[in-house]
């Protein structure tokens, strides 16, 4: 069993370059199914979720060449299967992303119900309703979703009840091969969706309005392979900015490889908490906050505060001079992280989808368990300022979305190491 051990109290400085965005790379990999041939993706993060998605595509018949650590050439010419196998799909939430491309290419798909972090129900009703409007018929049994468009995909107007990222992406990827024009109203606006639309347009799609609430897709008969660079990971950037806000020395920490505009609400809230953040080319320089002000946060779809930064902001709020309220509107189980932070000395009370955070003077190192991807990374960040040693277990969650997390922290001067320890169950 691998753990991450953090010795608190060491200031950090220097430059860290964030990897390509997990939430973009996975969807871009799925989108290669729409263009038979070899598409090259650059700036792909070397993380476990990418490895799983690669296995999903290979199981369908794709071949993947690793040109270098962050460049993949994915040839989908020989793909003949439209089934995403359960043993792989159950490992990550993004697995439903292959449904739209498979429907676009083959007119049918068989997808296992998605897995990933235990953040709540895998709500795919909006995927089903949206794709159903395009002419897709669904049947579910034994943990699988069977999707079929016997008359082909036909463009139409679709209004999403909620600005769902996954549903927006699936609809876009299916609609690019539909007959006629599709209009998605109340579409999600995340930067990763813009990245997906940009690549599809490079492939020959006709998509306008990506990044706005109304996206229009004019169907085309075929798409062609391209070379595309994955956008930088704004959530990884936000995680390192939080670490800098806690432990940067007077020179600060440069976080590069991303567009700060994509992290606008996070930067705004951090600045309200007393964190100095200077914009630089392709990133920011963040400084340690001498005094942390309390702040109220509610997670919302982009451009609101991202749910994937909720745990990291809670770490800062737990050390603020006063009381903060954090409201989680996206995932019902995302406060599992709070109980682990309480083990380190935080004062947090959770009621329904609200967390009342009373600031304390400091954290104490403890043995804690990573409850999910972002919560695990936030516990490591909390360990940077805690007294003594913090040991974070279940770090496979962190591996799903952070490339070389320990190495990057060490390069900044943090005292962090990854260790293999006996599993207590086996003792």
Per-residue 3-state assignment (H helix, E strand, C coil) for 113-134: CCCCCCCCCCCCHHHHHHHHHC
Q: Choose between 85 and 325: higher pLDDT.
A: 325
State pLDDT tens for residues 156-196.
Answer: 999 999 999 999 999 999 999 999 999 999 999 999 999 99
- Whether 117 has a pLDDT exceeding 60, the answer reads no
d(CA 56, CA 60): 7
- Whether 338 has a pLDDT exceeding 90, the answer reads yes
**Strand-strand pairing, 283-286 and 389-393:** unpaired
Average pLDDT over every residue of 275-297: 96
Catalytic residues: 117
Average pLDDT, the chain: 93
pLDDT at 87: 80
Per residue in 25-53, is it b (16+ CB within 10 Å) or e — as a string?
Answer: bbbbbbbbbbbbebbbbebbbebbbbebb
How far from 267 is each of 38, 101, 251, 320, 337, CA to CA, in Å? Answer: 38, 34, 19, 17, 22
Which residue positions form the known binding site for UDP-N-acetyl-alpha-D-glucosamine?
A: 93, 308, 330
How many helices (H) does the chain have, and how many strands (E)? 14, 24
**Strand-strand pairing, 144-148 and 137-141:** antiparallel
- Whether 313 has a pLDDT exceeding 50, the answer reads yes
pLDDT at 362: 97
Average pLDDT over every residue of 24-41: 97
pLDDT at 424: 60
Average pLDDT over every residue of 135-164: 91
- Strands of the 227-229 sheet, one edge to the other: 63-68, 71-75, 38-42, 227-229
pLDDT at 20: 98
d(CA 168, CA 189): 9
- Say which DSSP state 299 is in: B
d(CA 2, CA 422): 9
Q: Which residue has the tokens 């994915």?
A: 74
State pLDDT tens for residues 34-65.
Answer: 999 999 999 999 999 999 999 999 999 999 99
SS3 label, residue 283: strand
Which residue positions form the known binding site for phosphoenolpyruvate?
A: 22-23
Average pLDDT over every residue of 128-152: 89
Which residue positions form the known binding site?
A: 22-23, 93, 308, 330
- Whether 97 has a pLDDT exceeding 90, the answer reads no
Count other Cβ atoms within 10 Å, centred on residue 411: 14
* C-alpha 255: how far from chain center: 18
Percent of the chain exceeding pLDDT 90 equals: 85
pLDDT at 93: 63
- Whether 27 has a pLDDT exceeding 90, the answer reads yes
Does the model's pTM come out above 0.85? yes
Tell me how many degrees the CA angle 199-203-207 measures, rounded to the nearest 5. Answer: 65
In the chain the domains, ranked by start, together with CATH numbers, are 2-19+232-426 (3.65.10.10), 22-229 (3.65.10.10)
Average pLDDT over every residue of 226-250: 98
How far from 224 is each of 62, 77, 97, 346, CA to CA, in Å? Answer: 15, 11, 19, 53
- Whether 116 has a pLDDT exceeding 50, the answer reads no
Tell me how many degrees the CA angle 174-179-184 measures, rounded to the nearest 5. Answer: 50
Average pLDDT over every residue of 18-32: 97
- Whether 122 has a pLDDT exceeding 60, the answer reads no
Measuring CA to CA, which residue among 400, 327, 349, 345 is closest to residue 370?
400
Contact 274, 324 (CB under 8 A): no
- Whether 140 has a pLDDT exceeding 60, the answer reads yes
């Amino acid at each position: 069993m691998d753990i991450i051990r953090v010795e608190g109290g060491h200031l950090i400085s220097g430059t860290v370059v964030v990897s390509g965005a997990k939430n973009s790379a996975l969807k871009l990999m799925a989108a290669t199914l729409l263009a038979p041939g070899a598409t090259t993706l650059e700036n792909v993060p070397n993380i476990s979720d990418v490895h799983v998605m690669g296995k999903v595509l290979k199981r369908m018949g794709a071949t993947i060449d690793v040109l270098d650590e962050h460049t993949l050439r994915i040839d989908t010419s020989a793909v003949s299967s439209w089934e995403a196998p359960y043993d792989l799909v159950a490992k990550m939430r993004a697995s439903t992303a292959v449904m739209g491309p498979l429907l676009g290419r083959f007119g049918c798909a068989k997808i296992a119900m998605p897995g990933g972090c235990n953040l709540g129900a895998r709500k795919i009703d909006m995927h089903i309703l949206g794709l159903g409007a395009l002419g897709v018929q669904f049947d579910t049994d034994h943990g699988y979703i069977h999707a079929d468009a016997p008359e082909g995909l036909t463009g139409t107007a679709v209004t999403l009840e909620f600005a769902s990222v996954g549903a927006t992406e699936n609809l876009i990827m299916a609609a690019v091969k539909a007959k006629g024009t599709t209009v998605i109203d109340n579409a999600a606006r995340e930067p990763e969706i813009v990245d997906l639309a940009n690549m599809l347009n490079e492939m020959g799609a006709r998509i306008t309005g990506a990044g706005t609430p109304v996206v229009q897709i004019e169907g085309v008969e075929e798409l062609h392979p391209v070379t595309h660079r994955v956008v930088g990971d704004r959530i990884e950037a936000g995680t390192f900015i939080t670490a800098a806000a806690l432990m940067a020395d007077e020179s600060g920490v440069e976080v590069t490889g991303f567009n700060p505009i994509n992290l606008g609400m996070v930067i705004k809230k951090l600045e309200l908490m007393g964190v100095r953040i200077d914009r630089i080319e392709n990133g920011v320089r963040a400084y340690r906050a001498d005094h942390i002000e309390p702040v109220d946060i509610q997670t919302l779809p982009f451009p609101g505060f991202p749910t994937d930064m909720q745990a990291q902001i809670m770490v800062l709020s737990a050390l603020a001079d006063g009381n903060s309220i954090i409201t989680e509107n996206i995932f019902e189980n995302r406060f599992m992280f709070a109980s682990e932070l309480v083990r380190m000395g935080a004062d947090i009370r959770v009621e329904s989808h609200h967390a009342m955070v009373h600031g304390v003077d400091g954290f104490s190192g403890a043995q804690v368990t990573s409850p999910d991807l972002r919560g695990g990374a936030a516990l490591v960040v909390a360990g940077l300022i805690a007294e003594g040693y913090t040991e974070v277990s279940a770090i496979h969650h962190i591996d799903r979305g952070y490339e070389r997390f320990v190495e990057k922290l060490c390069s900044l001067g943090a005292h962090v190491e990854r260790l293999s320890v006996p599993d207590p169950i086996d003792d």
